[in-house]
Amino acid sequence: MYNSSVDDPDGSVVFQESIEQLEKEEFRDVAKDICLVRLPSSDQLLNSLLRSSIAVLQLSTREGFEIKVTEALAKSKVVIVYKAGGLPLQIVDKATGFVVPKGDFKQVGEIMSKLVLQPELRKKMEHTIANEEFQIKRQEFYTPVAIMHYLYFANELCWKDGEICKKWQNGKERGLEEKGVVWGNGEVQDMKARHAKDLWMEEYGVKLDGSGK
């Protein structure tokens, strides 16, 4: 059972291929125990699916970042992922989930069997996931913090009120102090701005050393 995505062009193809696989003679003995369901893209259905699951699998072979992994961990569910793209960065192997070599479906099956047959192991991992330390770490993947990161990145690409910026004039570089934010077209706009990193430090009580790190 899986929750489809609006940006998943291969979903229907993979779903049909899975059905055809189950119809083969070699899977006859286990086919009756397998139910394939492709749910429409819905936050409510996804929430119900995650909360009622034993474990969550994200077996993408190419993936930058998968928000569903974060959503599963937010519900204290063990996640199994392939070692592909940014997926291994979202979990701690053998603590909050399992990182499996790409394409090793046999190991995925072994891990799933272990989680089903050893509920104490699953409960231990779920308790680890719910630990405050991991909850705080996971906040960096949430939308509000991600927005703050983008704002910080944007601030690094422009100048803030009163800062020294560099301009080219007659083929020579010279430093100018501008009262405002300097945009890409050279326009200076006084925005009474504050760096997003200042807001971030206030929110999380972070203090920088003298080097600005």
Inside any domain, residue 11 = no
Write the pLDDT tens digit of every residue in 145-176: 778 778 777 766 665 544 544 544 444 454 44
Inside any domain, residue 24 = no
Judge if 134 and 174 occupy the same domain. Answer: no
Range of the domain at 187: 145-204
How is residue 195 written in tokens?
A: 């760096």
Where a domain ends, among 114, 141, 168? 141
Inside any domain, residue 155 = yes
Judge if 109 and 152 occupy the same domain. Answer: no
CATH of the domain at 67: 3.40.50.2000
Inside any domain, residue 152 = yes
Rounded Cα distance, 71 and 79, in Å: 10
Q: Any idea how long the chain is?
A: 213
Residue 178 pLDDT: 47
Res 210 pLDDT > 80: no
Where a domain ends, among 141, 159, 174? 141
Of 32-41, 52-61, 110-119, 126-135, which has the strongest mean pLDDT? 110-119
Inside any domain, residue 48 = yes
Query: Could you give phi then psi for residue 85, rounded to 5 degrees?
Result: 55, -135
Beta bridge partners of 181: 189
Tell me the DSSP string of 97-112.
EEEE-TT-HHHHHHHH
Strand ranges, E, within the chain: 2-3, 38-39, 55-58, 78-82, 97-100, 164-169, 172-177, 181-182, 188-189
The number of folded domains in the chain is 2
Judge if 136 and 159 occupy the same domain. Answer: no
